Each structure stands twice: as structure tokens, then as C-alpha cells.
Structure 1
Amino acid sequence: MPSDAVSADPLRQVFFGDLHIHSSYSFDAYTMGVRAYPKDAYVYARGGKILHGVGYPVQIDRPLDFAAVSDHAEYLGIARRKAELEEPAKATESHDTALRAALQGYAYEYLWRFMREGMRSSSGEARARNFGVPELAGASRDAWEDIARAASEHNVPGSFSTFIAYEWSSMPEDQHLHRVVLYGDEKVLAMPWSSLESENPEDLWRELERQRGSGHSVIAIPHNSNLSNGLMFSDRKYDGTPLSRELAELRSRIEPVSEIFQVKGQSETHPDLSPSDEFADFELVEQPVMADAPQREVKGSYVRDALRLGMELQHAQGFNPYRFGVIGSTDSHNATSPANEADYHGKLPLLDGTPGLRLGAYSPQVHERTTMHRWSAMGLAAVWAQENTRASLFAAILRKETYATSGSRLRLRFFAGWDYPEGMAQSARAIDVAYAQGVPMGGVLNGGTGQSPDFFIWAAKDPEGANLDRVQVIKGWVDSSGNSHEKVYDVAASGLRERDASGGRLAAVGNTVDVVRGRYTNSIGDAELRTIWRDPDYRPEQQAFYYARALEIPTPRWSTYDAVKLGMPVPDPAWIQERAVSSAIWIKSLQ
């Protein structure tokens, strides 16, 4: 169906998707038991059943609106082809055999050797591309063609959108500088440009800028900045020299959004960076796969801190490389989207593909040596677009009208404008007025000389999920000396709650989680929260950003559901508060 036949909504609809899914063409996915192809990922995303890497059927609770298979460009398809050539029987080995290998630690050890000996010590073009085996020379090209073909065959404008993508997986000294490279149409290169060409993100940006100059629609989406050891959002270039205006502007063009929720933790903020934020300790992962790896530097690794740094750079040097929006995605390596706490099935099948593996009921040596029991069932990308087509979704991502969820499908809208009319929040025409007289999430509002802008925030619960606890606005600003600050405001809350005795924090919403049975009830919280809010601390001379965060009432974590299934003690934390985080709105001062 051509795009012009799709019904477009000028006030935009929200579409939920996953732009970070791996299939068996990724080296680590294949070695950890995945046999699914890109087409299987799209079958799953559209609501069909596929086979999990350890042999049981999996099916998403609700179909997604869009998806992208983004396999690692490095050694793309090589592990699978190598197995098919060397041991054809094992290339499609039974799940029982594969699971036994996992329990004995063989698959885990093989993966580690592959990464360490293959990726890290490669030397020479043949070694780097195909391990010196001529028969593997065409494996990556064949895999890339299959990825593009699967996206084309499963793209249904108006119903389900697909994107051609891959992951650029730079890991200097185990510091995660990974990006998903996402194309807006079917015009792609014959082969992905990988970190085997360069581990320097600046070289990736220049390559993608070259592609854009040749007519390609392409962006890069950083992820797992929480594991970057402070390198993802720095005030320095990759070589340690000061950041330049040219590079800042290039990065802004190439990376309009960043992934902040996924299986390997959240990258919104950290308690050390936001000590006054009582919800900053959500789903923290501070080490990569190995449990004995050193914890990562937090400064430069989280998005809120990056937004603050961007304003500091704007104040001091006149440019801001960090005016980006946010999304979530899962980073599943099993051709699925495991973002549902109640039906979590892990990231890498032979590492965390069953409740027993995840909680250490068996294969305790793998459980103890890895961080996978701290991984999360999250997240999803939410995009406000006129229609469910590649072009419309990609345009929305470029303008940053996006938000990230930890897996819930709660709705969140966030606008800023001057002099929104009284009573607008409850008006049936609220969205019309919000667009006509202001800007949505991801936008820039020119500053005023008087009182605060009006912020319109609207959140609605996931129709099949938990009620809402509260909606917050997070503000960041720079003072006259160029130092940045932040503050969290509770702007709407369920029930008739008041501040605590000190007049500080809002009273907790309560908790209905039954840890013994792995259940909760919606007897607390509200289905919808909406308000017009004005910043009581607004200063027209200050550069500032604002973003919205909506929190659900407490619900059981995946580890609680797993423990109940196995009859094991429930580990901490037993419950979490799912959430959505909007892209920011920047207020541009007139001074």
C-alpha cells in the first residue's frame, strides 16, 4: 500500500517499537544459541510465535508498530556460516544439546573466547573480516542482503513499519561506544561500515555524513552510555583534545536521539549525578557482562548529565552537541523484544534464557560470573508521528518527538508554549492548541522576558498495565557562571497526596505488590494525569531544558515473577516503578 493511501493524523499518534533487535547473524547471538533469522524477528514483533533459543515458543503480549533488526556489523553472519562449514550438524543442533552446553559453561566460554581472541586480537584484513577462511568471505554480504530483504518484505505502511539497520559496536578497552545505524528508506550501502574500519565515533559520523551527502537517509543512535566509562558524552574528542564546533554540529546532525532504556540498564541518570532525585536508582547496571569488571565512571555516561554539559558548552563556547531526544529499545539478541516483566525471556538464550539460568538455580558458575541477573526487561521506543510509515516515523525521530519507556505502553505528551489558555489541560482541543501555540517534546522554544512558559503534560496509563503514580518535570539550567544545575518537580499526582512533614517530597503512592504470588492490583493510582505547569523558579536570562517523566505504581519485577515460578526466595528489588521519559524541550533565552 503506498504511503499516500495511509490515513495521516495531523495531531499525531503514538507508535511503539523496538529499533534494536539481533538475530543469529550477530556473532554473540549465534554462539549463545540463537538460530532465528531477521524474518523471525518481524514475525515475533507482529504478534506471531517463534522458537526461543533454548527451545520453547515465545510470543509478544501485543504486536509492535515498528521494528528494526540491527545485527552487529562486525563479523556479520560469520559465526553462523563458520559453524555451517565446519560442523553442519551442530549449526542446527537441537535445543536440548545447546542447553546442556550452556549449563556446563561451554557456550559461555566459547563466546568469551570468540570476543577476546577474535575481535580484540585481529590483525590484517583477512583476519579481521573472515578469520582467514576464504569460504567465509561472502557471509557478511549475504547476511546484510537478507536483513534488507526481510525488512522490505515485512514493511506494511499503515500497519507495521520496518527499518534497515545494523549495530556499530566499538568497544575500546571494553568501553561501550555502540551505536545503532538506522536508515530511513531502502537506499543502503552494499555493506555496513563497521568498527573494524574505525573504533572512533567521529569517523562513523563523518562516514554517515558522507552517505547523507550521497542521498542516504541515515542516523546513528547511541546506546548503553551507562557502560561507556564516561566516554559517550564528553567535552573532549576521542583523542582527548578539546571538542570543536564543527564536530559538535556534526554529532548533532547524525545523532538526533539516544537510547536510554534497554536490557543492559538505564542511561537516564545515576544517584551520584542526581542525589536529590529519589527515583535515580532505577535499574542500574554499572558493569558489562563480566561481574568482576570494574564499575564504570558515571560522569559522561548518562543522558541528563549530557544535557547539562551541552548547556555548559553552549554558555562557554557557543555550541551544544547534546541537544538530542530519547528512545528505548531492548537490545534483544534472540530476535524478540523482551520488555514485559511478566513474560521476560532474557537477552542471550544460553546465558539468561530460562528462569533457572537467570536466578542461578542451575549453572551457578555462569550466574556468579556475569551481570545478567541485574539486567532488565526493558525498553520501547515511543514516536509521535502522523502515520505508521517509515517516512513519517523517521521524520518524527529526526525532530525528536519521541520518548522512552521502560517497557510499558503508557502515553506521554509534553508541550511548552506562551500563554496557553486557562482550562486548556482539560479541554477537548488541548492538543490542537498545544501544537498551534507551542512546541512538543524535542523542540526549542524561544525565550520570553516575563513569567515562565506554560508546560502542558498529559499521561495516560498503559491500557493493559498499571495505574499512574505521578508525573514529574526535570529541569536543567546554567547559571551566570556557566555551571549547570538540575531540579525535579512533582507536577501532577494520583489521589489526594500531600508533601511530607518537611514540605519536601510528595508522599509515596503506596504498594499493592503481593511478592508471594507475584501480583499487584490497580486499587491505587490514576488512569490519567494532565496539567498545565509553570516553573516557579523561572529566570528568563537562563538557558534551560525541561523534560517530563511519568511513573507507574509499583509492579513486580521480572525476577519476582521468575522466583514465584521456581518457588525460590524473591531477590531484591522485588518490585519496580515502570516509567516513561520524554525528549526535552529547550528554552532559548533572549539575552
Structure 2
Amino acid sequence: MLKRILFALLVLTLLFAASVGLYAARGVEDPTLDPPFEDSKPSRPSSLAVVPPVPTKRALFGDLHVHTSYSVDAFIFGVRALPDDAYHFAKGGTIEHGAGYPIRLSRPLDFLAVTDHAEYLGSARAARPDVPTVRLNLGSALTDGGRLSYTRYWVESVAALTDHAFTSGAKGQQFLDQAQQTQVQLDAWRDTIAAAERANEPGRFTAFIGYEWSSHFIHRNVVYGSDAAPDYPFSALDSQRPQDLWLALEAQRAAGQPAIAIPHNMNESSGRMYPRWPIEGLAWTRDEAERRRRIEPVSEIYQVKGSSEAHPALSPDDPFADFEIVERLNGDATDLGREGSYARAGLRTGLELAMDEGWNPYVFGLIASSDSHNASATVEEDNHHGKLPVLDGTAGIRSGEALLLPTSATPGATWGGGGLAAVWAEENTRASIFAALERRETFATSGTRLQVRFFGGWAFAPQTLRSGDAVEVGYRDGVPMGGFLPARPDGATPQFLVWADKDPVGANLDRIQIVKGWVEADGISHEKIHDVAVAGERAIDAETGLHEPVGNTVDVEEATWTNTIGAAHLAAHWIDPDFSPDQDAFYYVRVLEIPTPRMSTYDAKALGRTAPEPTTIQERAATSAIWYDPRGASADPGP
């Protein structure tokens, strides 16, 4: 079916090209391609200082979802970089993009995991199949042949991916014979491990060993907490059932290979990422629920292919839920109303299951990452270089200027800028960061590096936030993000301490919100958004109960903004006004920045064209929740 659609697109393109004449034949003028990468001028990463341990923890930012040319789709779509390049980039070095230009982060990351697709790992790179990017490099395809030529290149590249076995686990056309493929996969996995070992610098930079398990639209990244890893990953070719992945990782953990799995792109799962029943018609068992909680302590909610935090159809009273919603993924319309496709709805389903069954499989924290396939963490709106070079690797491709196709047919037009995983850890080491992931002391950002603290307890003093020891008090008298409130004293009501600081080189803050979810006696869950701290004096909207917008300083034509609105720091001591001691509940924090130009607006400025809507973005962070369980069943399952 897909190949027929692609053929029809190509025919329509040829007919359209005949009508536009010289426009179709003219080369693509794309400023992204200039200057070209010069291998003769290698760029070393900036020197990373050793950061001493901090008992009260520090915020560390990284990316746990990056692909290289060992992934089949990355290679076919023009990536040639290897795991060593990915770590070089994360440390602040310059590498070559698949389109031939240099890319570099404005600031290095603290940690990274290379997570190539385990299915046919390294096979496309080793076989070098007859695909467009092997015959002609992407940069030349853009500049030498014109829009018609590049459109054919684009369509043939997409078709080439469908011709070969890939991440669904289906056994399609093979690149190599079985013996060759087995050896290539082993060699690529060994190099992945070796690259992480070479890059890992305790105290300076953490490199995790990892891979992606890519079953049909219910993908997980697997990350190892030490240098101990299996001889070869458990992939979707072994099983497409997540239950089997959990069992495999549980066995590895028992063998001294600490591992977790991180779901991502829940928004494209058609409700299968957080289902009420793990297998249709069969309820969760306690063992399965505890195994999922143990193996999958966090979920990735922001990345290039959209947000999986919430959806306006599921959260109609949340005016900020309509954020980086991707309406079409993998060529298919998403099933927008499915509760199992978004993290907030999944947390609510967990409360309902806890009440009905007595156990909750959906106790998970929040992170974000990029899903970049360029061996790079593409998270900066003003320094964006896409996910897959052929599909969105330049401003011209993303905007459709390089193509003779409708914008709706090109995924780069709707993909976003990616996100970052943030953890509160004592030190920058594998053990410390992995422990933070396991205890869910994490938050997700849409690419910004704002910092947010969140503690829950029963007796915080309002003046704590002004005392200078709020962190110590939060840990001593409460629990941090990711935890369960301790046993409730008689007559007590939950209290929360929350504060946030802007990204040092980013936008000011608009507001801090607490998102509450709870379940009533009838077993139905609900949610409510509370503004707990806002910048400036603003009226409250009578319809939403939230404060009016902060304003907007963005000059769309120039792709600029100013920090003349908003605040550098916001804080609140908040007591739940609607608490019921008999109701399961969760609370998580969302921090919003003031509006800034979206990646597509920076692209439009570079190309000298009108920016498409939306022209602005409110970057944000969302923390892991703090849970309240009236039954006191707060203990996490053991190892």
C-alpha cells in the first residue's frame, strides 16, 4: 500500500513539475548547507570540568535517545556518523551532518545514550544497498538537480526503507545472508559498547550503553546502568511483546546487568502504550504490574515526533495541552482520542487500576529526549538540524521549499525540536544518574535547561522557601518528585514546595502549574490544573480558572524575542484545597516559559519566507509526579 502511495505521489509530482517548468529544475538555495563541513579542521569538544558530588543533588541534562548510521533508517536516509561521533557531539564537538554541513551544540550535555535500533543493527551500513543516499550524497542531491530531482530522490529513499526489513520485527528483504548479518550485528553492538566506554568520564560526562527495542509503534529504549551488558540485545525480532522484553531485562538484571526500558512516542501507539488491559480482555496481574513498574520507571514525553504529555481531546480544560501535537505519524492519522497514548491519561488509568485491582502498573516518571538519527541531540530551536537528513535535514526540506510535494506529505513540516532528560543526581556518573532514573527523580524539558524542584509532605512551613535551606527541608520532611507521600497524619492535607529557575541563556518563566489527577468512589479519574506561581500581576480567566497569558515579545519576521516579560525565578508553597483522604491522587509540576520563536520560524527567517503557524512556542518542563495512596501501598517493587 505504501509503495503504491509513493508511486502515485511521484507521478503527481512529475505532472506538477511539467507545469511549473524552470522552478522545478532550479537548484535548491538552502543556507543550511553553507559552509560545508571540513574534515581537515576537526573541532575538539570544550574541556569538561569535573563536578564534585553534591549531597542535595544537582540537575543534569542529557539525551537517552540518539541514533547513528548503525540504525537501518538512519543509514538509508543519509546518516554516516557512528557512536563515537554521537558522544563527541554531546561533549561539545563538531560533527558532519548527513547533508554535509557542520553541526555543534551551543552547550555540551551531561550525559548521553546511543540507542540504535537493535533490529538489523549495522546491517545497512555494512551492506551499502542500492539506495539514493549511497548513489549520491544528500548535499549534492539538493544543490545539483533541482526540486524535481530532489523530490524523486526523497520518494525513492522512502520507498527504499519499505523494501527492507526494519523495526516492526517483520522479516522483510534481508541486506545480508544470515551468517553475515549475525556477525555484522555482533560487531556493531560491540562497537556501541566500546564507544560508550571510551566516552564515559565519571564526574565530567556519562555515556550509557543502550539500544532501541522497536516493536510496532510501542518502542522502548533500553539503557544499562553500568559497563555490564548482554552479548547481544533482546530485540523485536526475538519478540514484539513488551511483556517478553520485561522478562528478558529482568533476567539480565538478575545476572548483574542493570537495565531499564523507556517507552517513547506514546502518541503514535494507538492507545497501546498505557492500556487498561495488557492483553485485550485480560486484566493486569500483580506480578506484571510490579514488573512494568520496576523495568519502566520513566517515560519519554517530548521528542522530535511530538509531545506525549497530554492531548487537548483528552484534557479539554487544559489550554496548554495543545503543544507540539503531531497529527500524522508514519503516514497514518493518529488515533487522537486514545487514552493509552498520552502520559497524563496513563497516570490516571493507573489510579483507576489501583482502586479496582489493588495495584498500579503506571507509576512512572517523566523525561524527554531527541530521537535524533543524526548522531546528535537536536534540541535547540535556533540550531535545529532535524531527525533524518533526507526527510528534514535542512531548512529547505523542513519547509517544503526543496520539494514538489504537498506539505502534508512531508513529516519534517510537523516534527518539532526535540527534548532533554533531566535528573537530580549527586554526581555525574552512571550509578548516580541511573539511580535517579530508577527512583523517578527526573523531569522532562522540551529542550530548555530550566531547573525545577518539587517536594511533597504534610507539614511544610510557608517560610521554608525563603529560608535558604528549602532543599534540605524538602528531603528531610517530605519526598521529592517521583516519590509517594508518607503515611498521612490524622487530619493532615498534602503540602507542596515548588520552585523553578530559568535557563541561564534562555527565556524567562511564565508560570508554574501543578497538575492533579484523582479517582472518585465510582472508579472514574479526573484532572485539574492549578496555577501556583505566575510572573507579574494578571487577571484570572473565569472560564479556565487560570491566569491570563503572559504576553508575547516575539518578532516573527526577525525571529527574535526579549526577556522584558516573565520572571527569572518563581516559587510556591501550595496546599491542595480539594484533598480527600480516601482518593488516590497524583501531582506533577509543569513550568512554562514565555513565548519564543519556534524552530520553523527560524527556518523561515533563514529562507526569507513567511513563517508558518504556529510561529511561537512556549518551552516547558514537566516533573515526575508525587503520588498519594490512601491504602499506604507506596513501596516500590524490589529488584
TM-score in same-fold range (> 0.5):
yes
CA drift of 1:531 comes to 1.3
CA drift of 1:570 comes to 1.0
CA drift of 1:587 comes to 1.2
User: Alignment partner for residue 324 of structure 1, among 355, 364, 367?
Assistant: 364
Query: Which residue is 1:59 aligned to?
Result: 104
Query: Which residue is 1:227 aligned to?
Result: 268
Counterpart-to-counterpart distance in 1, 2:442 and 2:130: 45
Query: Which residue is 1:533 aligned to?
Result: 574
Counterpart-to-counterpart distance in 1, 2:406 and 2:316: 33
Matched, 1:73 2:118: yes
User: Alignment partner for residue 259 of structure 2, among 198, 214, 218?
Assistant: 218
CA drift of 1:137 comes to 3.5
C-alpha change, 1:363 and 1:6, in structure 2 (3 Å) is closer
Cα-to-partner distance string for 1:464-520 (whole Å, 9 max, x where unaligned)? 000000000000011112111100000000012231366833111000010111011
Counterpart-to-counterpart distance in 2, 1:359 and 1:568: 9
Counterpart-to-counterpart distance in 1, 2:569 and 2:166: 49
Provide TM-score, normalisation by structure 2.
Answer: 0.87
Query: Which residue is 2:339 aligned to?
Result: 299
Counterpart-to-counterpart distance in 2, 1:424 and 1:501: 31
Query: Which residue is 1:467 aligned to?
Result: 508
Matched, 1:274 2:315: yes
Counterpart-to-counterpart distance in 2, 1:388 and 1:301: 32
User: Alignment partner for residue 152 of structure 2, among 94, 98, 105?
Assistant: 105
CA drift of 1:446 comes to 2.5
C-alpha change, 1:89 and 1:557, in structure 2 (3 Å) is closer
Cα-to-partner distance string for 1:23-73 (whole Å, 9 max, x where unaligned)? 000000000000000000111100010011101100001000000100000
Query: Which residue is 1:249 aligned to?
Result: 290
SS in 1 for 2:301: strand
Query: Which residue is 2:377 aligned to?
Result: 337
User: Alignment partner for residue 444 of structure 1, among 484, 489, 494?
Assistant: 484
The sequence identity of aligned pairs, in percent, is 50
C-alpha change, 1:121 and 1:252, in structure 2 (3 Å) is closer
Cα-to-partner distance string for 1:112-162 (whole Å, 9 max, x where unaligned)? 4433552389877xx787553644431111111111111000101111001
Contact 2:169/2:215, CA 8 A, preserved across alignment: no
User: Alignment partner for residue 529 of structure 2, among 464, 485, 488?
Assistant: 488
Counterpart-to-counterpart distance in 2, 1:141 and 1:6: 35
Contact 2:601/2:615, CA 8 A, preserved across alignment: yes
CA drift of 1:212 comes to 1.2
CA drift of 1:179 comes to 0.2
Counterpart-to-counterpart distance in 2, 1:499 and 1:515: 27
CA drift of 1:109 comes to 2.9
C-alpha change, 1:453 and 1:514, in structure 2 (3 Å) is same
Matched, 1:570 2:611: yes
Query: Which residue is 2:443 aligned to?
Result: 403
Query: Which residue is 1:384 aligned to?
Result: 424
Letter in 2 for 1:440: P
SS in 2 for 1:313: helix
Contact 2:94/2:104, CA 8 A, preserved across alignment: yes
Query: Which residue is 1:146 aligned to?
Result: 191
Counterpart-to-counterpart distance in 1, 2:432 and 2:544: 45
Letter in 1 for 2:420: L
Contact 2:193/2:209, CA 8 A, preserved across alignment: yes
The 5-angstrom pairing of residues 91-102 of structure 1 reads: 94-97=137-140, 99=142
Contact 1:22/1:29, CA 8 A, preserved across alignment: yes
Provide TM-score, normalisation by structure 1.
Answer: 0.94
Counterpart-to-counterpart distance in 2, 1:367 and 1:68: 32
Deviation larger for 297-306 or 351-360: 297-306
User: Alignment partner for residue 164 of structure 1, among 209, 212, 236?
Assistant: 209
User: Alignment partner for residue 166 of structure 2, among 119, 124, 131?
Assistant: 119
C-alpha change, 1:478 and 1:123, in structure 2 (3 Å) is closer
Query: Which residue is 2:77 aligned to?
Result: 32
Query: Which residue is 1:48 aligned to?
Result: 93
Query: Which residue is 1:427 aligned to?
Result: 467
C-alpha change, 1:533 and 1:477, in structure 2 (3 Å) is same
CA drift of 1:235 comes to 1.2
Contact 2:516/2:587, CA 8 A, preserved across alignment: yes
Counterpart-to-counterpart distance in 1, 2:398 and 2:458: 50
SS in 2 for 1:458: strand
Deviation larger for 156-165 or 279-288: 279-288
Matched, 1:412 2:412: no
Query: Which residue is 2:625 aligned to?
Result: 584
Contact 2:509/2:591, CA 8 A, preserved across alignment: yes
C-alpha change, 1:104 and 1:79, in structure 2 (3 Å) is same
CA drift of 1:363 comes to 1.2
C-alpha change, 1:365 and 1:140, in structure 2 (3 Å) is same
CA drift of 1:186 comes to 1.1
Q: Where do 5+ consecutive residues of structure 1 fail to align?
A: none
Query: Which residue is 1:546 aligned to?
Result: 587
Letter in 1 for 2:193: A
Letter in 2 for 1:457: V
Contact 1:357/1:367, CA 8 A, preserved across alignment: no
Contact 1:105/1:366, CA 8 A, preserved across alignment: no
CA drift of 1:93 comes to 5.5
Counterpart-to-counterpart distance in 2, 1:390 and 1:503: 43
CA drift of 1:229 comes to 0.3
CA drift of 1:222 comes to 0.2
CA drift of 1:366 comes to 7.4
RMSD (CA atoms): 2.2
Deviation larger for 503-512 or 404-413: 503-512
SS in 2 for 1:364: coil
CA drift of 1:300 comes to 0.8
